[in-house]
Amino acid sequence: VYAAPSSVFGVTVDPAAAADQTFDYIIVGAGLTGTTVASRLSEDPNVSVLLIEAGGDARQDPRVYDMDRAFEFYASDLDWYWPADQGTHLSGGKTLGGSSSTNGGAYTRAPKEQYDAMSKLLEPEEQSLGWNWNGLSKYMRKSENFTPPNATQVEAGADYVRNYHGYGGPVQVSYPLKMFTGPHQPAFLQAAEEVASIRYSKDLNGGEPNAASITPLTMNAKDARRSSSAQAYLTPVEKTRKNWLTVTGHLVTKVHFKNGKLPLTATGVDFAATNGTSAVRYRAKASREVILAAGAIQTPALLQLSGIGDSTHLKSLGISTLVDLKTVGKNFQEQPQNMVFSQPSGVDLKGTGPGDAIAFPNLYELFGDDAKEAAKTIKSSISAWAKSQAGNAASAKALEKIFQLQADLIIKSNSPVYELFFVNSPDLIGMSTWQMLPFSRGSVKINSNDPFTKPTINVNYFSVDFDMKVQVYGVRLARKILQSEALQALVASEVQPGYETVPNDAAGGSDADWEAWIRSGFGANSHPLATAAMMKRSLGGVVDARLRVYDTKNLRVVDASVLPMQQSAHLSSTLYGVAEKAADLIKEDKARKY
């Protein structure tokens, strides 16, 4: 087993540091989850960990640490910027820390019932493993170091519930130092209540986020710098943890296995310079496990490149199938996003942000008088929708079960179905908005056996027509909020879409006009997941409840791919919880097996 010479730990771009070496664990992708798992596993000085990251180390790049500049990441050298269907692109951080180094930083958790639903998709004997609110909220708090709002931030509307938060973890969670202290954010919360009866909540992190609130962000309370997974879990131990090596600038191109016999034993990975200027492939060996944390797009691609996927698809690309696991890359879910905004009236914002006011309406609040009809549509359409999306799932029958659970969350548990994220600047006042729980299912498929070629992404947006209805009611609600009494003094005329594009009538605009506008300009919300879902195999799962890929002994997935369904939340808090829990499962299995 690898004994790291003192010169090769920490972070390096030199492939020679890892080539032909053996590590206990090899982790693919130093994003949110991969860095977390690497850090926890390497707490044991007797194990060695290799973490390989396609992107570079941009921790000192102001586009990364300065959260006011986060928008500069889009389509830049830090962005994977995968082309997707209907003219959209998906963004994801291609840098140390992955998307936690480039995201918006909003820190929220999903409803308790959505975590509990994860267990319902597992085999009966797996349901005691703690994939539920009680089990995961403990780990979400383990990763968190919350700083309560100071007096100025309280004055500006920030509040919290003490026991919702963790205080000893590595991820810094706090409110912006230059938080907007003008009247805008409180007025938005008031408007959400006035227009759609969305109640105010002190704190969205207690498992009941169907509310409007001011939320904290993953940023450092002292200097307002971003707290990415890299800054939280790697930077503090980088110079002392001699059993953890991180190689940046290198793409893992393939996972290797011992022989063709099932269950497969992963023995290591091939990797190559990400910039593709060299054909040289390096190999590193794993004596215990290979852990994929390359995110919801690249993880299924890497599985397919390594021979785990749908045999018909793999054969068409000349790849021999090792595990005929047809749902790798399927069950894919992403949320469509639209922005509605007006010209501000010029009242001083008193701050530069980042903004942190959010409203999460449930079905009844979003649809108002039409809610009964909307609930009826969902109930009576589940079977037809499952049939229409079956090509992107294990089967219509499997998807019907998943949709039933999703419908119950929406109709019975009041899970938020839409997000309105208040956006504020000297030039605009409005909302970035997206639906949270689409029924449309898509896929991620490699289209070449060249690992440098981006996979084909088909989100299949709005392929269930009800998803369009939700989006229409969502953007219309955003307009109504901008027209509310509470915001009147702060808002001038609507800019996007504008009354010429979507004429304003008594209803706030017709469905047809809104739909035409949505289709002309929606984008991806950057919350892709479920492409290697943790579910029982009969439902289309790719990993079991210990996050092991089916028919393998020691290949796990720990990233957004494993979440089986969308969440009514921003994903980072949940994913830190998933990664923390995964690390404990891996440690447990080590104690048991080796």
Ligand X SMILES: Cc1cc2nc3c(=O)[nH]c(=O)nc-3n(C[C@H](O)[C@H](O)[C@H](O)COP(=O)(O)OP(=O)(O)OC[C@H]3O[C@@H](n4cnc5c(N)ncnc54)[C@H](O)[C@@H]3O)c2cc1C
129, 545 Cβ separation under 8 angstroms: yes
Nearest residue (CB) to ligand X, 102 versus 185: 102
Shortest approach of ligand X to residue 180 CB, angstroms? 16
Nearest residue (CB) to ligand X, 183 versus 295: 295
Catalytic residue among 165, 184, 313, 527: 527
Structure tokens at 502: 């979507």
* H or E segment and range at residue 344: strand 336-344
Residue range at the interface with ligand X (CB under 6 A); choices 91-99, 164-172, 239-247, 534-542: 91-99
- Please tell me what DSSP assigns to residue 205: G
SS3 label, residue 583: helix
Q: Which residues are annotated as a binding site?
A: 252
Residue range at the interface with ligand X (CB under 6 A); choices 116-124, 135-143, 289-297, 410-418: 289-297
Nearest residue (CB) to ligand X, 99 versus 388: 99
Structure tokens at 317: 């690309």
Shortest approach of ligand X to residue 89 CB, angstroms? 11
Give backbone dihedrals phi and psi of 534, rounded to 5 degrees, phi first.
Answer: -85, 100
Outline where 274-424 has alpha helix (H). 295-305, 311-316, 363-367, 371-389, 396-411
The number of beta carbons lying within 10 Å of the beta carbon of residue 222 is 10
CA–CA distance, 246 with 268 (Å, rounded to integer)? 15
Question: Can you tell me which of 9, 22, 26, 55 binds ligand X, judged by CB under 6 A?
Answer: 55
Question: Can you tell me which of 132, 137, 298, 552 binds ligand X, judged by CB under 6 A?
Answer: 298
Question: Can you tell me which of 4, 26, 28, 158 binds ligand X, judged by CB under 6 A?
Answer: 28
Question: Can you tell me which of 10, 15, 29, 577 binds ligand X, judged by CB under 6 A?
Answer: 29
CA–CA distance, 59 with 56 (Å, rounded to integer)? 9
First to last CA, the chain: 13
CA–CA distance, 339 with 273 (Å, rounded to integer)? 38
> Does 84 sit near ligand X (CB under 6 A)?
no
* H or E segment and range at residue 359: strand 357-359
* H or E segment and range at residue 480: helix 465-482
> Does 54 sit near ligand X (CB under 6 A)?
yes
Shortest approach of ligand X to residue 46 CB, angstroms? 26
> Does 106 sit near ligand X (CB under 6 A)?
yes
**DSSP readout, 280-293?**
--EEEEEEEEEEE-
Binders of ligand X in range 181-220 (CB under 6 A) = none
184 catalytically annotated: no
Q: Which residues are annotated as a binding site for FAD?
A: 252
Binders of ligand X in range 501-530 (CB under 6 A) = 526-527
Residue range at the interface with ligand X (CB under 6 A); choices 59-67, 90-98, 154-162, 544-552: 90-98
Question: Which is it for the CA torsion 283, 284, 287, 289, positive or negative?
Answer: negative
> Does 98 sit near ligand X (CB under 6 A)?
yes
Question: Can you tell me which of 11, 26, 27, 30 binds ligand X, judged by CB under 6 A?
Answer: 30
Cα of 456 vs its chain's centroid, Å: 19
> Does 533 sit near ligand X (CB under 6 A)?
no
Question: Can you tell me which of 22, 39, 91, 531 binds ligand X, judged by CB under 6 A?
Answer: 91
* Amino acid code (one letter) for 217: L
Nearest residue (CB) to ligand X, 42 versus 304: 304
Question: Can you tell me which of 158, 325, 543, 571 binds ligand X, judged by CB under 6 A?
Answer: 571
Shortest approach of ligand X to residue 576 CB, angstroms? 9
Nearest residue (CB) to ligand X, 31 versus 268: 31
89 catalytically annotated: no
Nearest residue (CB) to ligand X, 4 versus 28: 28
> Does 293 sit near ligand X (CB under 6 A)?
yes
* CA 497 to each of CA 346, 354, 514: distance values in angstroms, whole numbers, following the listed order: 20, 24, 9
535, 122 Cβ separation under 8 angstroms: yes
Question: Can you tell me which of 99, 153, 246, 440 binds ligand X, judged by CB under 6 A?
Answer: 99
Question: Which is it for the CA torsion 294, 298, 304, 307, positive or negative?
Answer: negative
> Does 566 sit near ligand X (CB under 6 A)?
no
> Does 249 sit near ligand X (CB under 6 A)?
no
Q: If you search the block for the tokens 């110079």, which residue do you land on?
A: 239
CA–CA distance, 402 with 117 (Å, rounded to integer)? 10
**DSSP readout, 315-329?**
HHTT---SEE-TTTT
Nearest residue (CB) to ligand X, 99 versus 201: 99
CA–CA distance, 264 with 261 (Å, rounded to integer)? 6
Nearest residue (CB) to ligand X, 486 versus 575: 575
Question: Can you tell me which of 11, 17, 52, 393 binds ligand X, judged by CB under 6 A?
Answer: 52
CA–CA distance, 338 with 517 (Å, rounded to integer)? 9
CA–CA distance, 336 with 493 (Å, rounded to integer)? 25
Structure tokens at 153: 């931030």
> Does 295 sit near ligand X (CB under 6 A)?
yes
CA–CA distance, 253 with 240 (Å, rounded to integer)? 29
Residue range at the interface with ligand X (CB under 6 A); choices 3-11, 291-299, 357-365, 396-404: 291-299
> Does 51 sit near ligand X (CB under 6 A)?
no
Shortest approach of ligand X to residue 90 CB, angstroms? 8
> Does 294 sit near ligand X (CB under 6 A)?
yes
Nearest residue (CB) to ligand X, 89 versus 350: 89
57, 95 Cβ separation under 8 angstroms: yes
Question: Can you tell me which of 93, 186, 307, 309 binds ligand X, judged by CB under 6 A?
Answer: 93
Residue range at the interface with ligand X (CB under 6 A); choices 28-36, 167-175, 279-287, 336-344: 28-36
* H or E segment and range at residue 116: helix 112-120
Shortest approach of ligand X to residue 422 CB, angstroms? 13
> What does the binding site for ligand X look like in residue numbers (CB under 6 A)?
28-34, 52-55, 91-94, 98-100, 102-106, 251-252, 293-296, 298, 302, 526-527, 559-560, 570-572, 575
The catalytic residues are 527, 570
